[in-house]
Amino acid sequence: MIYSHSEVEKKLYDFWLKNNLFDLIPKSKNTKNFSVLLPPPNITGKLHLGHAWGTSLQDCIIRYKKIQGYRTFFIPGTDHAGISTQTKFEKILVENKVDRNKMTDKQFLKELNVWALAQSNHIHKQWKSLGLALNYKYETFTLDKNVNDLIALEFKKLYDKGLIYQANKLVNWDIKLQSAISDLENIKTETKGTMWYFKYFLEGDKHTFVIVATTRPETMFADTNLVVNPKDKRYIKFLGKNFINPVNNKKLKMIADEDIKIDFGTGVMKCTPAHSFEDYAIAKRNKITKFVSCINPDGKLNKNANTKIMNFEGFDRIEARQCIVAALEKLGHLIEAKPHLHNVGKSERTGEVIEPLLSLQWFVKMSPIVGNLKKLLKNHEPSYFPPRFKNVMNEWLNKTEDWCISRQLLWGHQIPVWFHKKTKKIYVDVVPPKNVKDYVRETSVLDTWFSSGLWPLATTKYGAYKKMTSDFYPIDVLLTGWDIIFFWVARMLFQCSFIDNTVSLKNIVLTGLIRDKNNKKMSKSAGNGIDPDDMISKYGADSLRATLISGANNGEDLIFDEIKIINNRNFINKLWNANNLVSNIPDTKINVEKIDYVDKWIINEFNKVLTVYKKNMDKFAFAFAWKNILDFTWETFCNTYLELTKISNNPETKKVINYIYKQILIMLHPFIPFVTEYIYQDKYKDKKSIMVEKILTTPIKVATKHTDALLLIKIFQSIKTLRIKNSLPLSKEININIVTEQKYDIKLLNLKLNKFFTNINKISNLRDSEIKEIFVENGFTIEIVSNLSNKNDEIRKNEILLSKLKNELDRSARILSNQEFIKKASKEKVKIEEEKQREYMRQYMQVEAILKKIKK
């Protein structure tokens, strides 16, 4: 049967489900638990290639742990994703010409629930297509009752300890959404703007002024001070003096702050704490507490923009900008306007320019919670892969600000706060007050990250199935992108530690971003996004998984190129074809006394690969593990050992083939589960599924020096290369001499080689000066006695090869002399590049020697 991914993959997932192969196995004294937390995807539509990458890696871990004998829990779930889901659904209503304003909140939420369920169903289909071994019986949704109860409990405990408070503070405000949003949803975009320079006159002096540069004249109505750097000699004499705000004639005292850049603008900055996070921080440091906003939540200027000098109350903040400039120019305050490139925050969901705005919101005091976490981390700190992210996390924990947790939405966890209608007394609890009719409930919902931060507990100890899942907490592995280490990973650590006094994660594995073959970040907006469903349809889930899992080391970006999927599909096809050379043998026990030296060689080679594979998989070095087993399977096992033994009549050799091939399937299973399961069921009847097989802990060991085997392999590979290079048929007999100081059994070697129309004439320590065609290997030289081609052809071929090797050496030298590469790359990556350079140099010297011999 020819390999067809669609035929192989179409029924196996249902087979795994039907046979409960993803379920929790019964507890026993000899089994250890192991959990992997699936970052719950937002139920806003289809999963993208980044999801496919992360989930493939997570599934690779869980399947590896299964074949190690662990009792595994791959924790599934989906996220309601408050802002993302509500805004997307509202857009769909607009597209379908449905008037949102004519719907009651109850109707809106009912329709949204129906739509969200449809998105969740599609996500499940994609999980199935990728072959994820998820424990569906214990799936959780962030709006499930148990999650809502846990979130309310956390809120109450924080509130009771005085760690949650309501205050009128500066937040990221989405004018269109009419809600506070998180920093993650505030996308900074480089934008062409204008820097205006205005005169601010010294109080009581019509001739002395300072020039203040700003990109936001519309906020001048809310200025509180002018600020300079204390080291700026130009303005020291003005410190403590008042200047007059040109839009409202209010006094602005000049103060000093070290964060002001002397060389930016004029060195004088207007301080507007109600409309800038930087200014808010300056005001806080300088104990400035009285300040007002000049912009309403709808984005229009408020009554503070109505002054004796000018009136722009009711104007949209953006539209008012040019009007204010024109008014100030007329008054003689405008010096100049210059083009200015700066970062402007825009809402990820609505595209609106984000307005830093004073708003009454709920906040969490971070310092005490982080302090408690730090105490726990002293003895229970997670392991980070790569380790550098430990410092990244610790740096963030040392500079946390209070967290705004309220959002003005309908879709989400409603804040468990009730206000008494008469007394205004606040009631906070998991359950409503008994006399609930006398209360009004807080209408805001919690930030999505508040529920996500409790995800490890919500899916295990506090889950709906906690009797079965509590043992899997703390979570053994969280694998996610480094870009949300602060937004999600940190929150899981400090939120779970507060409610359970534990560190929720044992191992944190971080990936980079996905980029296209031109090194551009993949995204739908950039037009270079790739649908994983399309790749699965075209090449199969196994080919896509192998490409994603092996595509990058931890913490590094993945460069996605379709040619890599094709290469991995070719490998899977090679594995498939090898099945034809593996016999179905009832008795698989190998008699090591009856196997020959080539069989012993492959067993020893496999044992080396097994050791390296386990080492890499245990430290989540998937790319290295994949390359290790791929190279062995393709070159060592298929291209060499199977070729050498396919005409063997030794029954023990067939057992060795069977043994190695089965172990290869088991080792490859975490990467390419479908094809390995399919071949396993076709070839081996030991157990109902490869998923219940175990990776070897005590492999067969054979004592042998196998020097003859090494020479045989090198000769076999060299002659195979020679035939391809010279387009020689397999039937063309090739005679060779071996030049070496070591002793070999020529009869033993020829016994194998003669079957492939190759013959060793002699083995000696003297070179034959008349023979020009040679292969130089470690410890010996192969002389080609047979005449293969004319001299000019050989010179041309070797000169081309020498040129290619020279280019590779130059490239390698550039990389290894690049200090940025040495500094940022992992030790493993640097080591690989050094090994490449040594190999290129070895090949260069070999070809150079061959050319000299030919030209003599």
With beta carbons less than 8 A apart as the criterion, state whether 521 and 48 touch.
no
With beta carbons less than 8 A apart as the criterion, state whether 767 and 739 touch.
yes
With beta carbons less than 8 A apart as the criterion, state whether 77 and 139 touch.
yes
The overall average pLDDT reported for the chain is 92
Residue labelled with tokens 């130009």:
234
pLDDT digits (tens, 9 = 90+) for 828-839: 888 888 888 998
Give the other-Cβ count within 10 Å of 267's Cβ.
19
CA–CA gap between residue 535 and residue 564 (Å, rounded): 12
pLDDT above 60 for 790: no
Task: Return the bridge partners of 499, or none.
Answer: none
Residue 107: which pLDDT band, with cuts at 50, 70 and 90?
very high
Give the other-Cβ count within 10 Å of 101's Cβ.
4
Percent of the chain with pLDDT over 90: 72
pTM of the model: 0.85
Residue 20: which pLDDT band, with cuts at 50, 70 and 90?
very high
pLDDT digits (tens, 9 = 90+) for 662-686: 999 999 999 999 999 999 998 887 7
Range name among 230-239, 409-418, 601-610, 774-783 with the lowest pLDDT average? 774-783
- Give the pLDDT score at 772: 67
CA–CA gap between residue 770 and residue 406 (Å, rounded): 87
CA–CA gap between residue 775 and residue 303 (Å, rounded): 89
- DSSP secondary structure letters along 426-453: EEE-SS--TTGGGEEE---EE-HHHHHT
pLDDT above 90 for 521: no
With beta carbons less than 8 A apart as the criterion, state whether 149 and 414 touch.
no
Residue labelled with tokens 């129906």:
114
pLDDT digits (tens, 9 = 90+) for 341-392: 999 999 988 899 999 999 999 999 999 999 999 999 999 999 999 999 999 9
Task: Map residue 98 onto helix, strand or coil.
Answer: coil
- Give the pLDDT score at 827: 84
Q: Which residues contact 415 (CB under 8 A, 6 or more apart)?
A: 155, 362, 406, 442, 444, 445, 446
Residue 786: which pLDDT band, with cuts at 50, 70 and 90?
confident
The residue type found at 646 is K
CA–CA gap between residue 411 and residue 705 (Å, rounded): 69
- Give the pLDDT score at 715: 85
pLDDT digits (tens, 9 = 90+) for 295-314: 999 999 999 999 999 999 99
- Give the pLDDT score at 447: 95
For residue 427, give both structure tokens.
């009631």
With beta carbons less than 8 A apart as the criterion, state whether 704 and 631 touch.
no
Residue 706: which pLDDT band, with cuts at 50, 70 and 90?
low
For residue 782, give both structure tokens.
């192969």
Range name among 45-59, 128-142, 745-759 with the lowest pLDDT average? 745-759
What's the number of CA atoms in the CB half-sphere (13 Å) around residue 343? 4
pLDDT digits (tens, 9 = 90+) for 203-226: 999 999 999 999 999 999 999 999
For residue 662, give both structure tokens.
């089965």
- Give the pLDDT score at 628: 96
Ramachandran assignment for 334, one of left (phi > 0), alpha (psi -120 to 50 degrees), beta (any other): beta
CA–CA gap between residue 242 and residue 250 (Å, rounded): 9
Q: Burial-class residue 681 by CB neighbours within 10 Å (0-12, 13-18, 19+).
A: middle
The residue type found at 477 is V
Phi then psi dihedrals of residue 765, to 5 deg = -100, 10
What separation in angstroms does the CA of 722 have from each of 463, 791, 847? 64, 15, 14
With beta carbons less than 8 A apart as the criterion, state whether 529 and 48 touch.
yes
Q: Which residues contact 492 (CB under 8 A, 6 or more apart)?
A: 452, 453, 454, 455, 456, 478, 504, 505
Overall average pLDDT of the 266-280 stretch: 96
Ramachandran assignment for 101, one of left (phi > 0), alpha (psi -120 to 50 degrees), beta (any other): alpha
Strand positions, DSSP E, 175-316 = 179-181, 186-201, 209-214, 225-228, 242-244, 251-256, 269-271
